Structure 1
Amino acid sequence: MNILTIIELDNSEVEKILDASIVFQEETVYENVISTCVEGFKCNRTNEILDSDHAMEKVFVMLKANHYIPSEIQDFSYELSSCERIKSNTPEKDELPKMVSISFSQCV
C-alpha cells in the first residue's frame, strides 16, 4: 500500500522557515487579467534570490528536522500556487496566492 501525505503551508509559514520573502512575478494575460506566480525567494539576511527548487528543498529538510516528515522519506514534490485575478486600480496584497503544498508518499 502506498500512502500519500500532503502538507499545506501558508506563505507566511514558508517565509518564516526560510527567513526569506516570496518574490511574485505578474504577467498580464488579457487587458484586465493578471496571472501571478512565484518566481523565487529573496533571503532576508543577504538579499540573495533562491530559486524555487532550492528553497523548497530547504523547507523539506526543515520539516524533516522538526519531525513533520518521517526521516526515512527522501523524495517529495511541491506546488506553489498561482492565480489569475482581475486588474484593479488598487491592487490588494491579499489577492496573491497564499498556499504552498509539499507531498510525499511512503509504502507500508
Structure 2
Amino acid sequence: MSDTNERIADIVNTNDVVLFMKGTPLFPQCGFSSRAVAILDHLGVQYESVDVLQDMEIRQGIKSFSDWPTIPQLYVKGEFVGGSDIMMEMFEAGELQQLVTDAGVASAS
C-alpha cells in the first residue's frame, strides 16, 4: 500500500465520520462540499473533515482509495458511504440518520 493510501486509511479508520471535501466546514470551496457539510451539521454528529485542496496526494489518492471519481466523499466507521448526491438521497429517505445512529456516532456538542 502506498504512503498516501496508508494516510487515508489511518484517517478513515481513526475517525467515526470523515468527510473528504474541497475547503473546510466553515468555508467550503464548492457547492457539493457545502451541501455535504449542511447535511452533517443538520444530523448533529461529530465529524472530521479533510480539505483535499491542501494536499494533492490526498486529492488524487482518495479517488482510487474509494474507487469513486468525485469529491466530497463521506466515510462512516471506516465504510465509504458516497458523495453529496448519495448523502442527500439517504438523508431525505432517513437512511443517513439511521446509519449514524446504528453506527453509534457521537453527537456534536
Q: What TM-score bracket applies, with the shorter chain setting the length? A: under 0.3
More helix by share: 2
Instruction: Report the TM-score when normalising by structure 2.
Output: 0.24
Q: Which has the larger radius of gyration?
A: 1
Structure with greater strand share of residues: 1
> Which structure is higher in RCO with an 8 Å CA cutoff and minimum separation 6?
1
Relative to the length of structure 1, the TM-score reads: 0.24
